[in-house]
Structure 1
Amino acid sequence: MQKTVALLSLALGAVTAQAADPVRRDLLSLNASASVEVTRDVLAVAFSTTREGTDAATVQSGLKQALDAALAEAKKAARPGLVEVQTGNFSLYPRYSSKGGITGWQGTAELLVEGKDAPAIAQLTGRISTMTIARVGYNLSREQRERAEAEVSAQAIARYRAKAADYAKQFGYTGYGIAEISISGDEPMRYAAMASPRTKAMGAAADEALPVEAGKATVTVSVNGTVQMTK
């Protein structure tokens, strides 16, 4: 008997809890966004070189010599925040014949240069002769991105609030309250199409600067969330 009473009490408690927490039908999901165009202020250039041969040590030595020479030239232009230099991928792997035996070795080395001083980096590309340009990228510095996001965040939030107030009114409510909200930003990296390393190596004159144009980046901030409309 006591067990039956206990089960009945639990059942009544569950019903009471459900009655106290009814399904909310006055929630509205919304999204709003704002964008701004800003000039990209960071230029990134990746240099690379490849070597191949029958002896692994010889191939590795050739890669190291090419990288050391390029690194020494790049360090002459290095300045914190303006021209940053670092080594990239350095790999060496075997080549196999159709029967599975090793027939030779091939390797790749990279040097990465980036910074806000685009003219200095462009000039540097003409002075590095042991490696060729693999890719060029334009991006925003952290400071530039934060300034842009601060500007458009205020716009996106204002648009979100205006939409919430307008939709609540159209549904017959007098106001709203924030139930859940999230804010996110997006500005993708852009890479420029470059001539192949072979063309660059054969056609570029000594000290010829790379022509660069950073262009604009679109920074977008989105506000997504749910509001509870109120009477």
Structure 2
Amino acid sequence: MNPNKLIAAALLSICALGAMAQGVPPPQNVLQLSASGTVEVQQDLLSLTLTTSREGPDAATVQNQLKAALEAALTEARKAALPGQLDLRTGNFSLYPRYTRDQKISGWSGSAELVLEGRDFPRITATAGRIQTMTMGGVGFGLSREQRARVEGEAQAMAIERFKAKATELARGFGFSGYTLREVAVNSNDQGYPRPRMMAMEMKAAQADAPVPVEAGKSSVVVTVSGSVQLR
């Protein structure tokens, strides 16, 4: 077929589809609504960050000092590592120059991080207390994958039941006998309320190899069901 005829045919098809779309009446008696389910649960995942910093006249010296401190910390931490209970990962490793007022390099600074994470709080805090080459940089709490999946299931079931109950109530309120589901979306998130008890001054005063004091809080897992229903 001639290319011009193909183009013309395509344009006619597009115009026809547009005309059909314009002729379709908008949906009637459609109701938009949403409902949420919330479950509060104890946080069971601890993430503890250890850090160290060094300064020196040249980059190689600072880098080697950081590597030595990190390797010593890893050697100690690996003794207690256990999948899911205490997992290790290195964090930020940075090296940068220090400048004088006339923008000349006067030396080098750097820092390194090691993260201890897992569900076994005593194992993690005791391990952190035994590491001598790094100090506490931060602590955070959250939900493990298993805990989140279990709680999300509960919150989702709650949100669905509330969505159905609200749809039924509104349908009857508007004089309809019921409804049919048109479309639906499910979203989930969790809001943490940690209560960390890790303070630098307390750490310095405590025994060098004492466990790091921490206390987890709770998270609220929220699942929202939203969508539209056709009243009938």
Q: What TM-score bracket applies, with the shorter chain setting the length?
A: 0.7 to 0.9
- The answer to whether structure 1 residue 118 and structure 2 residue 124 are counterparts is no
Q: Please give the residue correspondences for 1:71-150 in structure 2 after superposition, counting only pairs within 5 Å.
A: 71-150=74-153
**Secondary structure, in 3 states, of the residue corresponding to 1:89?**
strand
Q: Tell me the C-alpha RMSD between the 2 structures.
A: 2.2
**Secondary structure, in 3 states, of the residue corresponding to 1:148?**
helix
Look up the match of 1:227: 229
For residues 17 and 67 of structure 2, the distance between their equivalents in structure 1, rounded to whole angstroms, comes to: 76
Deviation at 1:76, TM superposition (A): 0.7
Label 1:215 to 1:17 Cα distance change in 2 as closer, same or farther (>3 A): closer
The one-letter code sitting in structure 2 at the alignment partner of 1:71 is: L
Label 1:103 to 1:23 Cα distance change in 2 as closer, same or farther (>3 A): same
**Secondary structure, in 3 states, of the residue corresponding to 1:77?**
coil
TM-score by length of 2: 0.87
Find runs of 4+ consecutive structure 1 residues off by over 3 angstroms: 10-19, 188-194, 199-202
Look up the match of 1:187: 190
Deviation at 1:166, TM superposition (A): 0.8
Look up the match of 2:206: 204
Label 1:22 to 1:200 Cα distance change in 2 as closer, same or farther (>3 A): same
For residues 206 and 89 of structure 2, the distance between their equivalents in structure 1, rounded to whole angstroms, comes to: 24
Deviation at 1:85, TM superposition (A): 1.1
- The answer to whether structure 1 residue 40 and structure 2 residue 43 are counterparts is yes
For residues 201 and 162 of structure 1, the distance between their equivalents in structure 2, rounded to whole angstroms, comes to: 53
Deviation at 1:154, TM superposition (A): 0.7
8 Å contact kept, 1:137–1:189: no
The one-letter code sitting in structure 2 at the alignment partner of 1:219 is: V
Label 1:53 to 1:81 Cα distance change in 2 as closer, same or farther (>3 A): same
Q: Please give the residue correspondences for 1:19-58 in structure 2 after superposition, counting only pairs within 5 Å.
A: 19=23, 21-58=24-61
Identity %: 48
In the TM superposition, what whole-angstrom CA distance separates every residue of 1:181-208 from its partner, at most 9, and x where no partner exists? 1001111456636424xx3663231221
Q: Figure out how many residues of one structure are paired with residues of the other and give that number.
A: 218
Give structure 1 stretches of 5+ with no counterpart. Answer: 1-9
Deviation at 1:215, TM superposition (A): 2.4
TM-score by length of 1: 0.87
8 Å contact kept, 2:33–2:167: yes
For residues 85 and 154 of structure 2, the distance between their equivalents in structure 1, rounded to whole angstroms, comes to: 25
Deviation at 1:16, TM superposition (A): 6.4
